[in-house]
Structure 1
């Protein structure tokens, strides 16, 4: 199945498929397609009669198929949306016969979130053959930054690159959570405003000074004092700043530095590293401080610290001491 905009375009043109099997690790697009079908395919006056929402945890495949085979009560079509469809995974193959011969007056939508069908299953092959599957994949960081720009454009807002990175630092690449925060800001801001790190701190609660993004920036510029100040702040509220996430963020950063060292053509670094070109300069700067061999040593040290952060051979080491050990492992590998 094509991308989201093409699917919606086809539906608007009246080319509606009998089955939409929406699956994958990124629920944002699954929700968007299902929401569009729910709000636009049937006339408003017939939705109460011919539109049904089922939940995978409450029904069986037989229940879904039975509902799909019924005729519409009021209009020419009926819509059935199966939310939490991943709960039906154990017996999903029982859907095969219906996929091969769907009811022409039914539009059956499956929201199969944070999972995907095994490609070897008969039902998967049947759905693929008819082009009924939409696979919603998690986006890389650089893709999320591009997506942010597009979403904010519809709200007549823009965002600073650093502010965008701060969103990803705190919310990861979860498009639904980021979208929800954008909705809040759109209420507070006026058209034409630029979302800055100060606006984020004031209205959403992210600290613009004490976060993993700022820690990585301090390390990459060899600002030792600032690095220790940030981890000391982290240790005051470990629940808000899990050491596991800090080590993970540092591991990702140094893996990028190692990859950058190995690039024969550094002009396409942003694409290979899957990050915004705006931040490639930081990787380039850090690569000058941490040679390839030293970077590899840091990655090995971070792997050991990651294991220790999970309680293996950690003894009674505190949150703060573990972070200090992390910084020591990094700074002792700076180019002499």
Structure 2
């Protein structure tokens, strides 16, 4: 089940005895934990809520707490954080865990305790016996990173529950400025709700005023300007990044990463990979892949490679010389534009040569005049 389903179930039904929250989206992990904590009255939480980090505390300590009787309350809540022993990941923790005691606890679990495993991992090691047993006993709660569609729906639901509305344009702006990262979107909602406290409506201007663009988003605009040969806009965006105290090497590194991603997308998409497959194989958020596909289609591989190699040269220059970063970037824009013009001139030369050869074979004077007029028009345009 997802977080919304969990919240509904906890409010309407008797909670299960064991839950497993699995997924790397930290904000969803926290929302699930908050939902469990809300089951325990506030005046009982000090005595009846226990949290244990498995990288610092033995599992036996948490299980002892789980087997204890609730203190002047209906139930206990025990949260086991970072249960790395359920994965195949290596850890530097020297804490030893008695997994046999966990097996015994699960056969059957303590009825007056809600035992929650908060596992911030992509997956568990399904080969382990304890994992198989836990999956049979526990209710699985999905905390995997949300895609754009799910993130939009989650934001709408959260705002609606709190009594707020958000326009479609405002939601589009929020998605764009956060790269559809639900964690960043959720973090922005508090400020937006404060600004829209009286009207209870969030519009695009509010989002633009309160939610800063990420470096990746600014760089994406910069990449588009460079590829479209809009030197004035490209240089203006670059200066804005420098004015925002972004180090030149960091800006260049993000640019290099963006062009590398576009090249990878262009190559792999030609092999038939879908948007979802690209996101999985490149380990990139689906929203970035969506934008990258649109950009990669509009520009040639040669243009992408030229920009990428130019940025590599800028990186070397920034590391080994004292050249002005803006000057280096200006030269890159100029060189990309020059190569584009050379390519256009080469195409025009081929067109003219073809028409001249064709003219030599045309004997009709009127037809010849029409072709000459077309030739002049094509050259001037």
TM bucket, shorter chain: 0.7 to 0.9
Q: Would you say the 8 A contact 1:51–1:80 is kept in 2?
A: yes
Q: Which runs of 5+ in 2 are unaligned?
A: 280-285, 345-381
Which residue pairs with 1:112 in the alignment? 119
Q: Would you say the 8 A contact 2:265–2:278 is kept in 1?
A: no
Which residue pairs with 1:315 in the alignment? 320
Q: Does 1:167 align with 2:177?
A: yes
Match of 2:254 among 245, 265, 281: 245
Pairs within 5 Å for 1:144-163: 144-154=151-161, 155-158=164-167, 159-160=169-170, 163=173
Bigger helix fraction = 2
Q: Would you say the 8 A contact 1:24–1:137 is kept in 2?
A: yes
Residue by residue, what CA displacement relative to the aligned partner does 1:177-229 show, whole Å, maximum 9, x if unpaired?
32122111110123223133xx3453345489x92232134245442331233
Which residue pairs with 2:12 in the alignment? 13
Which residue pairs with 1:177 in the alignment? 184
Q: In the aligned structure 2, how far is the partner of 1:99 from the partner of 1:43?
A: 26
Match of 1:71 among 69, 72, 91: 69
Change over 3 Å in CA distance of 1:33–1:186 after alignment to 2: same
Which residue pairs with 1:216 in the alignment? 223
Which residue pairs with 2:305 in the alignment? 297
Q: TM-score w.r.t. structure 1 length? A: 0.73
Greater alpha carbon shift after TM alignment, 5-14 vs 145-154: 145-154
CA RMSD, Structure 1 to Structure 2 (Å): 4.3
CA-CA distance at 1:9 after TM superposition: 2.8
Q: In the aligned structure 2, how far is the partner of 1:93 from the partner of 1:150?
A: 41
Q: In the aligned structure 2, how far is the partner of 1:167 from the partner of 1:13?
A: 36
Pairs within 5 Å for 1:17-166: 17-40=16-39, 42-44=40-42, 46-56=44-54, 58-83=56-81, 85=83, 91=96, 94=99, 95-113=102-120, 116-141=123-148, 143-154=150-161, 155-158=164-167, 159-160=169-170, 163-166=173-176
Q: TM-score w.r.t. structure 2 length? A: 0.65
Q: Would you say the 8 A contact 2:178–2:184 is kept in 1?
A: no
Change over 3 Å in CA distance of 1:146–1:327 after alignment to 2: farther
Q: In the aligned structure 2, how far is the partner of 1:295 from the partner of 1:96?
A: 59
Q: Would you say the 8 A contact 2:48–2:70 is kept in 1?
A: yes
Q: In the aligned structure 2, how far is the partner of 1:316 from the partner of 1:96?
A: 62
Q: In the aligned structure 2, how far is the partner of 1:146 from the partner of 1:188?
A: 21
CA-CA distance at 1:284 after TM superposition: 4.5
Residue by residue, what CA displacement relative to the aligned partner does 1:13-57 show, whole Å, maximum 9, x if unpaired?
3242222222321111111111011012x3455444423333445
Secondary structure at the aligned position of 2:106 is classed as helix
Q: Would you say the 8 A contact 1:24–1:113 is kept in 2?
A: yes
Q: Would you say the 8 A contact 1:305–1:326 is kept in 2?
A: no
Q: Would you say the 8 A contact 1:142–1:275 is kept in 2?
A: no
Secondary structure at the aligned position of 1:160 is classed as helix
Change over 3 Å in CA distance of 1:64–1:332 after alignment to 2: farther
Residue by residue, what CA displacement relative to the aligned partner does 1:104-162 show, whole Å, maximum 9, x if unpaired?
22111232335653333332222122244434222345544454444444432234365
Q: Would you say the 8 A contact 2:51–2:81 is kept in 1?
A: yes
CA-CA distance at 1:232 after TM superposition: 3.5
Change over 3 Å in CA distance of 1:31–1:333 after alignment to 2: farther
Change over 3 Å in CA distance of 1:248–1:75 after alignment to 2: same
Q: Would you say the 8 A contact 1:142–1:276 is kept in 2?
A: no
Q: Would you say the 8 A contact 1:21–1:111 is kept in 2?
A: yes
CA-CA distance at 1:313 after TM superposition: 11
Instruction: Report the count of equivalent residues.
Output: 318
Q: Which runs of 5+ in 1 are unaligned?
A: none
